[in-house]
Structure 1
Amino acid sequence: MESLARKSKAICPFMKHQSASALRQMAQSSSLAAKAHGCPVVGPALEARRSYSTPSKPVGAQATDALSPKTVAPDAASPVFLHGSSNETNFDYEAVFEEQVNEKRRDKSYRFFNNINRLAREFPKAHLAKEDDKVTVWCSNDYLGMGKNQEVLDTMNRTMLKYGTGAGGTRNIAGHNRHAIALEAELAALHKKEGALVFSSCFVANDAVLSLLGQKMKDLVIFSDELNHASMIVGIRNSRARKHVFQHNNLEQLESLLAQYPKSTPKLIAFESVYSMCGSVAPIEKICDLADKYGALTFLDEVHAVGMYGPHGAGVAEHLDFEAHLEAGIASPAFKTVSDRVDMITGTLGKSFGTVGGYIAASAKMIDWIRSFAPGFIFTTTLPPALMAGTTASIRIVRQNLMDRINQQKNVRYVKKQFEQLGIPVIPNPSHIVPLLVGNAGQAKQASDILLDQHKIYVQAINFPTVARGEERLRITPSPHHSKDISDALIEAVDDVWTKIGLKRVPDWEREGGLCGVGSPVPRADNLWTDEQLALTNTDLNKNVVDPVINQLATSSGVAL
């Protein structure tokens, strides 16, 4: 035995670094066997000789002879699984589910879904469970009310009657059609990119693209803003790439992280334009500067910006070169714009465009690569023809309707100003999001319930994990259709709720040192929309944006060599 042990220590990397006393101790505690099972040489040998049985002595068989398995002689080469009940009790799965849900109830983060049925002909009205019980919706992400647009509805109805309700399968098998081709061409034209690809949602798009980049691009390092959406976080995790999370919009920290790697190392910076729960806006141009300096790709999520920013609704990247895009219209300006500098732009069809789905716009080569390799695209049933046709119509309407964007911003300004005068704590931001800081999960839910039950106003409470604990809020999103009288009713109701519950107002947050920018001596960012831009009308748009002819993209069907 001693001779065998000496030989083992000579050839086994594990044994070589263990003392004899350590080996004896592991043998006595049974941990040596566990180590052996993990060995690439010994493990398979042990597995082949392992006899399979239930963990304890089986009790008497209860099944009939017809259902009972036949007795088979054990065979080392072909292990037999013995059927029968065990003296042990089953794992209590239901108890795990119940306990974890109860924990959410205890910390007040358990979510109740209100029965909200939006009315297309009465937007922003909706009814509750009973059709005569109507409320005003103030938290929808149908930011422009395109979900009720008559031209979109008519287009969808005509297409559905002609082509049916579904696509019939994935794009690869049965779902590729003229509607997908037209929609992707429209999206590429909106962002002035070479190509675009449509997904079932932007969550899927973000996950599919980010995970694919990490899995296919060796040694990729991803740099992610700490407030990025869950879809981006999941995609980065699934990519298995090395990652760094930088503080929200902190360019100094981002640069220090980028500087750790040679320029030749593949890198990607993932961030959003408008962060939906606080309304902050990324410094896109400066992030592009860092990307150029350190050789990184840029991945920009414009989900909460498309439709509402830029002269044509292409998002914040377009808005940063507003005058140049306004003059060029459907064409590209004569210089390299901020939008040109962003490598990948993802967006949603389910918010400002009023339908459902997601997409990515990028170079033709990148789109063809994603189309060819991304499981989230290849193996997902494509969107229904009617939905894609309706979305194409919606994008064309939004592009040429500057006044919807302007009217939304005017309504946002009005609501924010009235809240400020009342001391209602609006988390400061330069965008269309109006987040009211509550700071307590139970009180946020209570405020939402009172608004709905007593004032017939629907504003959903936002709690963990969407926002950090202690930063709970109500999130209000005015649209172009929330008129002054509707806004005044909201402002009066919120003021009443704040008084009734005793919620903190701005002076209270100031005395506590501030939170989320409320009551803090932090300089406020200027609104993205300037007074000059808000003075424009649809007549100031280039006439080439009205019913433009947009050529289909080769990348939608496959690029011929």
Structure 2
Amino acid sequence: MEKLKESGQYRTFVEIERLAGRFPQALHHGSQGVREVTVWCSNDHLGMGQHPDVLAAMRRTLDTSGAAAGGSRNISGTTPHHVALEREVADLHGKESGLTFITGYAANDAALYVLGKTLPDCVFFSDRLNHASMISAMRASGAERHVFDHNDPADLNRRLNEVRPGRPKVVAFESVYSMDGDVAPMAELCAVAQRHDAFVYVDEAHTVGMYGPEGAGLAAQLGVGDEVTLLMGTFAKGYGTAGGYVAGPGPVVDAIRSLAPAFIFTLSMPPAVAAGALTSVRHLRRSDIERAGLHERARLLKTLLRDARIPLVSDQSHIVPVLVGDPERCRELARTLLERHRMYAQPINFPSVPRGTERLRINPSPVHQPLEVHRFADALRRCWDELDLPRTAPARVRARSA
């Protein structure tokens, strides 16, 4: 722990109290007392965590069903809310079945573990920047694993060619990568997987609700939803609540339900959370207003930061990762924004990102008004000048935003 602190990578928590109905305004409980701040790093990308219909559904279910389901899904933890939510996400993605989990991490862990453990002689092909939950599950399954270069269909094809035909193959990647904000070439990756008769597993945690028709995600937006065998999503980001899910073929989902320790041996989603998630999914299937607002605010912020010559890791999605490149200076930038400008953006460091690429991951949303976006960009520019931070990104990082 001392070495972690000396390296500047030690993580500290900022105590933030969201203000429902006024978010992104929140209360910061810190050394200067309790002060109102604006949050710029929330994963509640569409502001659905405070939507009146979502809150009303949760309150009703809390009053009728209580605070918790009372056990795992096998032991008193399956309610009509869970069943309805699973049917809804299966229908959203045009898949046969859905299965919900208490977290998105658990969804990835359960699905990939079961695939690797039960498919005979299975081999994984995993993008180099896949989420820790995906990597951990593949490793734990004991299946062979090959790592292909990030977002590189040609390298994926080379590695698939090295494995004998007929072996069960699983190609696993994300649609939008949460720390870099870059977008997978989904059509090309799916085409390569199809040529090799490989199972396609896609983590769409940062796209469901926010991309595609009815918020069905990036695969649906690009017209390759049918080429994705099993899709993972979360309710904790675009849908503003909590929990995760998978959607795919009935036998595959049933195997995960029956065999995954991460599903069998843990508490189910509280009924009120499932009811809130269901309301959010249904609302975003009908409404494009939130999605349009998200992408408009992201475009505005990226334009302002480019004009200010503030380097980004990538500019391909709604996630705006501002590159600092040093853990101590990144923390100082975040501290200055919070204490002087009352703007909260949490520094991101190793192991979430490689050393030397420390950053602020900014998440603009529809609940950030355009004037607030301008004020944030101006405050960031002034802090950048004051701290004399670099105006250009290293070449290896610049290549990702090309």
Mark yes or no: TM-score above 0.5: yes
Query: Secondary structure of the equivalent of 2:215?
Result: coil
Matched letter for residue 155 of structure 1 = A
How is 1:381-420 mapped onto 2 (pairs within 5 angstroms)? 381-420=267-306
Q: Which of the residues 340, 359, 371 maps onto 2:257?
A: 371
1:483-535 Cα offsets, whole Å, 9 max, x none, are 111111101110111011110013xx4xxx63411xx6x773xxxxxxxxxxx
In the alignment, does 2:381 pair up with 1:495?
yes
Which of these residues, 18, 25, 28, is aligned with residue 118 of structure 1?
18
* Corresponding residue for residue 194 of structure 1: 96
The equivalent residue for 1:294 is 196
Counterpart secondary structure, 2:256: helix
* Number of positions where the alignment pairs a residue of Structure 1 with one of Structure 2: 400
CA contact (8 A) 2:105 2:133 kept: yes
Distance 2:118 2:396 in 1: 41
Distance 2:310 2:366 in 1: 22
- SS of 2:214's equivalent in the other structure is coil
1:433 aligned to 2:298?
no
Looking at structure 2, the residues matched to 289 and 259 of structure 1 have their Cα atoms a distance apart, in angstroms, of 14
Which residue in the other structure is 2:4 paired with? 104
- In the alignment, the residues of structure 2 paired with residue 419 and residue 216 of structure 1 have an alpha-carbon distance, to the nearest angstrom, of 48
1:362 aligns with 2:362: no
Which amino acid counterpart does residue 377 of structure 1 have in structure 2? F
Pick from 207, 211, 228: which aligns with 1:305?
207
Classify the secondary structure of the residue corresponding to 1:235: helix
1:459 is matched with 345
Query: In structure 1, how many angstroms separate the alpha carbons of the residues matched to 2:401 and 2:373?
Result: 27
Tell me how far apart the structure 2 counterparts of residues 263 and 430 of structure 1 sit (CA, whole Å): 35
The CA distance in 2 between the partners of 1:120 and 1:455, in whole Å, is 22
**CA, structure 1 residues 272+523, in 2 after alignment: closer, same or farther (shift >3 Å)?**
closer
Instruction: Write the mapping of 1:222-237 to structure 2, written as runs, cut at 5 A.
Output: 222-237=124-139
SS at 1:428 equivalent: coil
Whole-angstrom CA distance in 1 between matches of 2:111 and 2:309: 43
Match among 441, 450, 453 for residue 336 of structure 2: 450
SS in 1 for 2:245: strand
- Alignment correspondent of 2:358: 472
Cα deviation, 1:290-325, whole Å, max 9, x if unaligned, reads: 11111210110000111110121111001113xxxx
Distance 1:246 1:276 in 2: 18
Unaligned runs of at least 5 residues, structure 2? none
Q: Deviations over 1:79-134 (max 9, x none)?
A: xxxxxxxxxxxxxxxxxxxxxx1111111100010001111121101101278511
Deviations 1:227-284 (A, max 9, x none): 0000001001101101011110111111111001222011101100000111111111
Provide the residue aligned with 1:127 in structure 2: 27
2:182, 2:401 within 8 Å by CA — same for their partners in 1?
A: no
CA displacement at 1:429 relative to structure 2: 2.9
Q: 1:240 aligns with which of 142, 152, 167?
A: 142
Q: Which has the higher contact order (CA 8 A, sep 6+)?
A: 2
* 1:424 maps to amino acid: I
Alignment of 1:482 with 2:368, yes or no, is yes
Distance in structure 2 (CA, Å) of the matches to 1:186 and 1:261 = 37
| 3-state secondary structure, aligned to 1:172 | coil
2-side partners of 1:168 and 1:197: how far apart?
18
Secondary structure, counterpart of 1:298 in structure 2: strand
Aligned amino acid, residue 221 of structure 1: V
Q: Name the residue aligned to 2:40.
A: 138
Conservation of the 8 A alpha-carbon contact between 2:327 and 2:358: yes
Q: CA deviation at 1:427?
A: 2.2
| Separation (CA, whole Å) in 2 of partners of 1:369 and 1:514 | 45
Q: Matches of 1:221 and 1:429 in 2, distance apart? A: 33
What per-residue deviation string (whole Å, max 9, x for no partner) do you get for residues 350-391 of structure 1? 111111101000011111111111111112111111111111
Corresponding position of 2:395: 514
Q: Which residue of 2 aligns with 1:329?
A: none
- Give the whole-Å Cα distance in 1 for the aligned partners of 2:362 and 2:73: 37
In structure 1, C-alpha distance between the alignment counterparts of 2:74 and 2:197, rounded to whole Å: 34
SS in 2 for 1:196: strand
Q: 1:208, CA displacement in angstroms?
A: 1.2
Distance 2:315 2:384 in 1: 21
Structure 1 residues 407-446: Cα deviation after superposition (integer angstroms, max 9, x where no partner): 1111111110011111111223321011111110110000
User: For the structure 1 residues 523 and 469, does the alpha-carbon distance in structure 2 shift closer, same or farther, using more than 3 Å as the test?
Assistant: closer
TM-score by length of 1: 0.70
Equivalent residue of 2:361, what SS? strand
Determine the C-alpha separation between the residues in 2 that align with 1:400 and 1:107: 48
Q: AA paired with 2:136?
A: V
- Whole-angstrom CA distance in 1 between matches of 2:2 and 2:130: 28
How many percent of aligned residue pairs carry the same amino acid?
44
Q: Distance in 2 between matches of 1:523 and 1:396?
A: 34
Quick one: distance in 1 between partners of 2:167 and 2:34?
61
Letter aligned with residue 471 of structure 1: T
Distance in structure 2 (CA, Å) of the matches to 1:311 and 1:219: 37
Alignment partners' CA distance in 1, 2:378 and 2:188 = 40
Any idea what SS the aligned residue of 2:301 has? helix
Give 1 or 2: higher strand fraction: 2
Q: Give the letter aligned to residue 129 of structure 1.
A: H
Q: How many Å separate the matches in 2 of 1:429 and 1:221?
A: 33
Partner of 2:110: 208
Alpha-carbon distance in structure 1 between the residues aligned to 2:23 and 2:138: 37
Q: Secondary structure at the match of 2:75?
A: helix
Regions of 4+ moved over 3 Å: none
Counterpart for residue 185 of structure 2? 283
Deviations 1:387-408 (A, max 9, x none): 1111100100111111111111
**1-side partners of 2:265 and 2:101: how far apart?**
11
